Amino acid sequence: MANGSSNPVRQFLSSGLSLLRGVTGDDAYEKYVAHMHSREPATAPMSARDFYKAQMEQKWNCISGCC
């Protein structure tokens, strides 16, 4: 919020980018790490590489899209 929140164009672009990152799953690992830090601080989170692999296998083991 600190940087550039007064500039509406910049604010619009940054919320657009965060929306896009959310929809595509670009921020999934960051969210996972944050989740692990807050919920299970004692367990070390998976590496980015392992997390990505596990995500992929889980996502495509069921019907996750239409025609």
Would you tell me which residues interact with other proteins (CB under 8 A)?
19-26, 28-29, 31-32, 34-36, 39, 47-49, 51-67
Minimum distance, C-beta of residue 24 to other proteins, in the bound complex (Å): 5
Amino acid at 35: H
Q: For residues 48 and 60, give the distance between their C-alpha atoms in angstroms, rounded to a whole number.
A: 18
User: Rounded to an integer, what distance in angstroms lies between the CA atom of residue 51 and that of residue 56?
Assistant: 9
Tell me which residue has tokens 């929140």.
5
Please, which residue, 10 or 30, has the CB nearer to other proteins? 30
Q: How far is the CB of 6 from other proteins (least distance, A)?
A: 21
